Amino acid sequence: MKFTNGYWMSRPEYRMLYATQCVRATREGNELALLVAGRPVRTRGDILDGGALEVRFSAPRENIIRVRIVHFDGAVDPGPRFETFEEAFTPEITVAEDYASLRSGRLTVRALRQEGAWQVDFLDQDGRKLTSSGFRGMARALLEEEGPASLLKHGKSFMIDSLDLAVGETVYGLGERFGPYVRNGQSVDMWNADGGTASEKSYKNIPFYMTNRGYGVFVEDASEVSFEVASEKVERVQFSVPGERLTYDVLYGGTPKETLDLYTALTGRPALPPAWSFGLWLSTSFTTNYDEATVSSFIDGMAQRDIPLSVFHFDCYWMRGFNWCDFVWDPEVFPDPEGMLKRYHDRGLKLCCWINPYVGQASPLFAEGKEKGYFLRTSDGSVWQTDMWQAGMAILDVTNPAARDWYCDKIRAVLHQGIDCLKTDFGERIPVRDIVYFDGSDPVRMHNYYTFLYNQMIFDLLKQEKGEGEAVLFARSATAGGQQFPVHWGGDNSATYASMAETLRAGLSMSHSGFGFWSHDISGFESTAPADVYKRWAVFGLLSSHSRLHGSSSYRVPWLFDEESVDVVRKFTKLKCSLMPYLYQMAVEAHEKGTPMMRPMMMEFPGDPACEYLDRQYMLGDRLLVAPVFDPEGWVTYYLPEGTWYSLLTGEKLTGGCWRREKHDFLSLPLLVRGGTVLPVGACDTRPDYDYARDVELRAYGLGEGESFSLKIPTVQGTPDASYTVTREDGKPVVSADSAKPFRAVLID
């Protein structure tokens, strides 16, 4: 949202109150409180008819500083508010004659105390300025209804701050964004929408960004936060919220990884998904016709072609049309759901079903929910309904504990039939006009926050029913904190190379936003991909944290495209299974520290300026570089950072610090291992969940004489992790291990 007309002038419809001078600074407990006038205060008369802002600095955790700006503190604030996980920490506060400061670990905020001047600097441990809020940065804007400006007129209020950008500073994140990877120059509004992947709209809006200067900013407001990223003022990031209060946190990690560590400590760590979820998922697709015979033909076809399949997913039409959702299997196509699910379980498959929080009027659940008051209502007490999506549908009121219990009881019955996990679709189309929530929440704030409560509700149900460590979702919508309930996928993409590239950009952006696990519809949801797009996308999808074949109006089994598609899916599914000793350790790291499995290049190489704009390649964990092919002829151009690299597929040795252009067939792509790495390769390539340490091969790539590399192999069997240190001595690998399980070590030069 823009408030100015050029740099100097405000837009005529806004009356601006800018922070201009700190007139009072006091320590209040563990907070630094400032009273900030909206004009220079030179005489006593200057305090009249001008307005002021109250600014408080505090430290919710070490190396994080919270800024709370209030104009009218009497304004109602019904919530909801983001859940944050704070720690007992005492900041160092100084109130001096010419400045006031608060220090939280390695981060300090310092406010100037001078007549007619306003400057707030955020400094690192060496006193280096990271960013600042200065001239016409912090403000309250009043959108006046009509007529001349007056303090007595009523209008809509917005709270604003803007933080400086240094020369060469680049901005990342703000949730799932399909446009340019670097946010500079963009206007971004936090408003969840079902807009597909080819628009500026997003299913997952996260009011958190980070920059290449080692810090991040989290705006703690669930409403429609608006960001102007080097757009309204090209030297600043501005953010604004409706209302009379603004709260944001500045987090200083020093590196992108450490900043994400702080952010996910504050807003919640990603849960660790079960190991089986990392295998290949196959779906019925959306509007296709299917029954048990169709589903069985797909499962049989994958087995006959030696393609390991881990999860089968039943999309919407497992229920009868118009009845979404009633959580009852369509008896015409699935007359024996319990028997069918048992037969698939006996084949070693996990099973998933589609759900959403909407209930069509034809569903038997509608009358029950209406009677008990379990749906969103309008101010006259009516159930809010729409024909968009399902005829006459209502929306579950997730703020009502009884409604949540009722809804979960319906799903619990499906889980007891044999379903292992759930695809929590939708959650974005949440109305705001004339809406009343059970707990009195603000409908505007609930528009985005609804998805947090929705996915949390289902994730908690799965933990209760399946056990700790077995819960996993396939979720489309999200807001801040939603990373705690993995996995999320990228929404409705199309069957083109362009959509494949925009899908990757969204995944990179999600990685900057605290989401450790991420997936997408392989080969595109809309339309049917030509065989070349299918094959290239399958490779990319199987080198993502989670991998799903899903579409709209056609099936996605590989033999329907061409025989080589079968070879591609087989090869890279087996490769992913064999890499699970490495990949699962990266998953543990995402769970423990918030470092995503799929990492933008600048996150792993923050000191390399060539990596700051790269959006067609990524690191899978800290050791594997992936450059998907987006070209029908197989050409790919990618950047290789400094050092020695090895092709995982061919063993070829490459020297980094340069750009490379290569041509690859459909069974290949640039998939490179960093030199100095010991990569654990599992003995099993037919499933993702097995004893990773048994018969593991420790491949030492480019390990110099006398050099060592330590690694840990996690377990999914309930036994302690296995730790190894591989050292090159006299041209041979010498291994120190705390595991009695057999292993093999090889040197690759």
Segment 698-719, tens digit of pLDDT: 999 999 999 999 999 998 766 6
Q: Residue 601 to residues 130, 341, 618, 671, 676: CA-CA distances in angstroms?
A: 22, 42, 5, 14, 18
66: Cα separation from own chain's centroid: 22
Alpha-carbon distance of 628 to 617, in angstroms, equals: 7
Beta strands (DSSP E) in 29-119 are 31-37, 52-58, 64-70, 92-95, 99-104, 107-112
Within 13 Å, how many C-alpha atoms sit on residue 524's CB side?
Answer: 23
Is 721 catalytic? The answer is no
Give the model's pLDDT for residue 577: 98
104: Cα separation from own chain's centroid: 27
Residue 48 lies in a domain: yes
Residue 561 lies in a domain: yes
Of the candidates 213, 225, 219, 250, which has an alpha carbon nearest to the alpha carbon of residue 109? 250
Same domain, 467 and 557: yes
Of the candidates 109, 108, 107, which has an alpha carbon nearest to the alpha carbon of residue 254? 107
Contact by Cβ (8 Å): 563, 589: no
Residue 153 has pLDDT above 60, yes or no: no
Give the model's pLDDT for residue 340: 98
Contact by Cβ (8 Å): 528, 554: yes
Last-in-domain residue among 519, 549, 578: 578
Same domain, 255 and 288: no
Residue 418 lies in a domain: yes
Last-in-domain residue among 515, 550, 578: 578
φ, ψ for residue 156, nearest 5 deg: -90, 135
Contact by Cβ (8 Å): 260, 253: yes
Same domain, 122 and 170: yes
Residue 454 lies in a domain: yes
Give the model's pLDDT for residue 413: 98
Alpha-carbon distance of 293 to 295, in angstroms, equals: 6
Of the candidates 709, 683, 681, which has an alpha carbon nearest to the alpha carbon of residue 581? 681
Residue 730 lies in a domain: no
How many folded domains does the chain comprise? 2
Contact by Cβ (8 Å): 611, 641: yes
Tokens 């303090």, residue?
Answer: 151
Same domain, 510 and 551: yes
Give the mean pLDDT of 510-538.
Answer: 98
The proportion of the chain whose per-residue pLDDT surpasses 70, expressed as a percent, equals 98
Residue 487 lies in a domain: yes
- CATH number of the domain bearing residue 56: 2.60.40.1760
Residue 711 lies in a domain: no
- CATH number of the domain bearing residue 440: 3.20.20.80
Give the mean pLDDT of 486-504.
Answer: 97
Contact by Cβ (8 Å): 263, 528: no
Q: Residue 168 to residues 128, 235, 612, 615: CA-CA distances in angstroms?
A: 16, 10, 10, 18
In this predicted model, what pLDDT tens digit does every residue of 270-316 receive, in sequence order? Answer: 999 999 999 999 999 999 999 999 999 999 999 999 999 999 999 99
Is 161 catalytic? The answer is no
Same domain, 114 and 82: yes
Q: Which of 121, 261, 492, 604 is catalytic?
A: 492
Reported pTM: 0.97
Q: How confident is the model at residue 146 (pLDDT cuts 50, 70, 90)?
A: low
Q: How confident is the model at residue 50 (pLDDT cuts 50, 70, 90)?
A: confident
In this predicted model, what pLDDT tens digit does every residue of 585-605 receive, in sequence order? Answer: 999 999 999 999 999 999 999
Same domain, 348 and 430: yes
Alpha-carbon distance of 533 to 537, in angstroms, equals: 6
Residue 480's identity, in one-letter code, is: A
In this predicted model, what pLDDT tens digit does every residue of 310-326 receive, in sequence order? Answer: 999 999 999 999 999 99
Same domain, 465 and 526: yes
Give the mean pLDDT of 132-159.
Answer: 78
455's torsion region: left (phi>0), alpha (psi -120 to 50) or beta? alpha
Structure tokens, 36: 């900030």
Is 425 catalytic? The answer is yes
Give kind and range of the element (H or E) at residue 185: none
Give the model's pLDDT for residue 271: 98
What one-character DSSP code corresponds to residue 148? S
In this predicted model, what pLDDT tens digit does every residue of 176-195 receive, in sequence order? Answer: 999 999 999 999 999 999 99
Compute the residue count for the chain: 749
Alpha-carbon distance of 107 to 129, in angstroms, equals: 10
Alpha helix (H) residue ranges in 68-127: none
| Average pLDDT value for the chain | 96
Last-in-domain residue among 235, 267, 299: 267
Residue 739 lies in a domain: no
Structure tokens, 686: 């037919």
Residue 49 has pLDDT above 70, yes or no: yes
Alpha-carbon distance of 235 to 165, in angstroms, equals: 5
325 preceded by a cis bond (ω within 30 of 0):
yes
SS3 state at 483: helix
Same domain, 288 and 259: no
Q: Which of 397, 425, 521, 685 is catalytic?
A: 425
φ, ψ for residue 80, nearest 5 deg: -80, 170
Of the candidates 225, 280, 277, 262, which has an alpha carbon nearest to the alpha carbon of residue 247? 225
Contact by Cβ (8 Å): 549, 283: yes
Burial classification of residue 367, based on how many CB atoms lie within 10 Å of its CB (0-12 exposed, 13-18 middle, 19 or more buried): exposed
In this predicted model, what pLDDT tens digit does every residue of 370-413 receive, in sequence order? Answer: 999 999 999 999 999 999 999 999 999 999 999 999 999 999 99
Tell me which residue range forms the domain holding 364: 275-578
Structure tokens, 725: 């240190």
Q: Which of 224, 232, 428, 589 is catalytic?
A: 428
Same domain, 256 and 393: no
Sequence-distant (6+) residues with CB within 8 A of 702 are 644, 646, 653, 675, 676, 677, 748, 749
Q: How confident is the model at residue 145 (pLDDT cuts 50, 70, 90)?
A: low
Neighbours of 28 (CB within 10 A): 10
Give the model's pLDDT for residue 192: 97
Sign for the CA dihedral angle at 166, 170, 174, 180 comes to positive
Same domain, 252 and 279: no
Same domain, 234 and 297: no
Contact by Cβ (8 Å): 60, 53: no
Give the mean pLDDT of 192-215.
Answer: 96
Sign for the CA dihedral angle at 527, 528, 529, 530 comes to negative
Give kind and range of the element (H or E) at residue 745: strand 743-748
Same domain, 197 and 230: yes
